[in-house]
Amino acid sequence: MAARIVAAKVGDVVDGEAIVVSKAVTGTVDDIALFLDDGEYYALDNTCSHELASLADGWIERGVVECPTHTGRFCLRDGKVLSAPATEDVAAHQVHVDGEEIVIVPNPVRLATP
């Protein structure tokens, strides 16, 4: 069974913004950015695949996050690259709201190995 990480409470993430959940908490190889866009939660690996920049610090709008460093854009739903200079997708993670808890289920491919 996949790990369920309580990442935040409803209300902790402002719509149009993101928070970072540490890889020490998630057990993943990268921190996870938890986004709230138009009332929907999304989770992606936090590090841009083009440059070492935090996607949580990017611009979030209409299901897309734009990297704050070189404006590469990624789909919040699946992590797919939408524009250069990025050429490699970032991993997406499952997000569920369980009552007042926002739960992340890390992508098993991105779990750190002991």
Strands (E) across 22-91 are located at 32-37, 40-45, 59-61, 64-66, 73-75, 81-83
Q: What is the pLDDT of residues 19-52, one digit of tens each?
A: 999 999 999 999 999 999 999 999 999 999 998 8
Query: Is the pTM value of this prediction over 0.85?
Result: yes
pLDDT tens track for 55-86 = 999 999 999 999 999 999 999 999 999 999 99
CA 19 to CA 42: how far, in whole Å? 11
- Report domain 5-110's class: mainly beta
All structural domains of the chain with their residue ranges:
5-110
Reduce the DSSP state of residue 24 to 3 states and report it. Answer: helix
The Cα–Cα gap between 75 and 16 comes to 14
